[in-house]
Structure 1
Amino acid sequence: MDNVNLDKAMEIFALLIVGEEIGSESHTELYEEYRNNSEVYDILMSVLKKSNLKLYEFGNCLYVTAGEGNRIFGFTNDELKRTIGLRLNKELYLAYFIMYNVILLFYQDSGSFSHIDYVRSEDVISQTNSSMQKALKAVHEKALNASEENSFEILAALWEDMPLVPSNDDMTSLKAARGSKTGFVKLVFNFLVSQDLFFESQGRYYIKQRFKALAENYYEENRGRLYAIVTGGDLNASY
């Protein structure tokens, strides 16, 4: 193994795990090493695999995300609850469901993102309402297993019990909080902004390239039963 190539691979790794972008416009020399030097590529991929990290290349740029169960670079459920501002596991699962619906607002069946650059809280609430209704319809009409039925019924009850906004409040003065649909969605977006996936301006949440990279690769690898349930698709289809 060439020590120079080892150093370059580890430099790429060190930058990626702290959120730096490596691509055609940033750290270009290292990106070219990744693209054109097979030993640098192989070393990097080996280190990422042993670290339980996934590498995504999107728009001539590299990104990493934690693999399932990664206790060093990822979050445990309890850590996520504290970070987002939640107390109960069912609230965390609802946050996951809302994040999934944020992806649905941007992703299209053609395999590319839609033309929209931003979403608002009310867009996410509308999308979540629609997905929840389809999931409950699947509970009653299709062959979901007992665990799926119970999970969606719990999430639906939690979501439906929330008012759109707190009493005596309006849409413009709302803060992120667990007590209303709008406040809950803002909690979720605060987390997405903190992870450098969106930025907010005047109540609009603008998509960032990192979110596109993670979301599109997520769809390629994981789209399946949940997608079918919340879109009303064929539960037996292969995606």
Structure 2
Amino acid sequence: MDHGNLDKAMELFALLIVGEEISNVQHVDLYEAYQNNSEVYDILMSVLKKSNLSLYEFGSSLYVTAGEGNRIFGFTNDELKRAIGLRLNRELYLAYFIIYNIILIFYQDSGSFSYAEYVRCEEVVAQTDSSMQRALKALHDKALNAVEENSFQTLAALWEDMPLVPGNDDMASLKAARGSKTGFIKLVFNFLISQDLFFESQGRYYIKPRFRALAENYYEENRGRLYSIVTGGDKDASY
């Protein structure tokens, strides 16, 4: 093994795990080493695999994300609840569902990625309402197992009990909070902003390249059962 190649691979790894963007604009030499040096590539991929991290490439840039159950680079449920500002597990699962629906707004299938620049809270409310209704319909029309049925019923009850906004508050000026659909979605967006996935300007949430990388690769690899339920897709899609 060439020690220079090892050093480059570990430098790539060290930057990626702290959220640095490795691209053909930033860190040009490292990006070229990843692209053109097979030993650097193999070392990096081996270290990422052993660390339970996935490497995604988008727009000539490299990003990493934690694999399932990664206790070092990922979040536990309790850590996520604290990071988002939630108290209950069912609130966290609703946040997951909302994030999934934010992805759906931008990406409906593997052959058609929407390059809309931004989304508003009201669009996410509408998308989540629609997906929830389809999920509830699936309770009657599809053979959902007991876990799926209970999960969707719990999420639907929590979502439907929330007003759009509390009292007569204006949607645009409403702060992030757990007491309404719009406030809850703003909590979720605040978390996504903290993870460098979106930025906000005048009530518009603009998608960032890191989110695009995760969304595209997620749909190619993990679309599965939830996608089929909330979109009315192939009911035999794999988990």
| TM tier relative to shorter chain | over 0.9
Unaligned runs of 5+ in 1: none
Cα RMSD (Å) of the superposition?
1.1
Identity of aligned residues (%): 82
Note the C-alpha offset of 1:173. 2.0
Which residue identity lines up with residue 155 of structure 2 in the other structure? L
Structure 1 runs (4+) greater than 6 angstroms displaced:
none
1:100 corresponds to which residue?
100
Greater Cα shift, 34-43 or 229-238: 229-238
Q: Distance in 1 between matches of 2:146 and 2:237?
A: 20
SS of structure 1 residue aligned to 2:54: strand
Which residue identity lines up with residue 194 of structure 2 in the other structure? S
Q: In 1, are the aligned partners of 2:84 and 2:188 still within 8 Å (CA)?
A: yes
Note the C-alpha offset of 1:170. 1.5
The one-character-per-residue Cα deviations of 1:11-34 (angstroms, maximum 9, x if unpaired) are 000110111111111101100000
Do residues 147 (structure 1) and 147 (structure 2) align?
Answer: yes
Structure 2 vs 1, CA of residues 110 and 52 (structure 1 numbering), >3 Å: closer, same or farther? closer
Q: Distance in 1 between matches of 2:113 and 2:193?
A: 19
Structure 2 vs 1, CA of residues 238 and 71 (structure 1 numbering), >3 Å: closer, same or farther? closer
1:25 corresponds to which residue?
25
Which residue identity lines up with residue 133 of structure 1 in the other structure? Q
Q: Distance in 1 between matches of 2:234 and 2:11?
A: 45
Which residue identity lines up with residue 95 of structure 1 in the other structure? A
Greater Cα shift, 14-23 or 128-137: 14-23
Do residues 62 (structure 1) and 57 (structure 2) align?
Answer: no
Note the C-alpha offset of 1:237. 4.1
Note the C-alpha offset of 1:141. 1.4
Note the C-alpha offset of 1:168. 3.2
Q: In 1, are the aligned partners of 2:109 and 2:219 still within 8 Å (CA)?
A: no
Note the C-alpha offset of 1:6. 0.5
SS of structure 2 residue aligned to 1:19: coil
Unaligned runs of 5+ in 2: none
SS of structure 2 residue aligned to 1:94: helix
1:46 corresponds to which residue?
46
Which residue identity lines up with residue 90 of structure 2 in the other structure? K
Q: Distance in 1 between matches of 2:200 and 2:20?
A: 20
2:200 corresponds to which residue?
200
Do residues 126 (structure 1) and 147 (structure 2) align?
Answer: no
- How many equivalent pairs are there? 239
SS of structure 1 residue aligned to 2:56: strand
Q: Distance in 2 between matches of 1:107 and 1:63?
A: 19
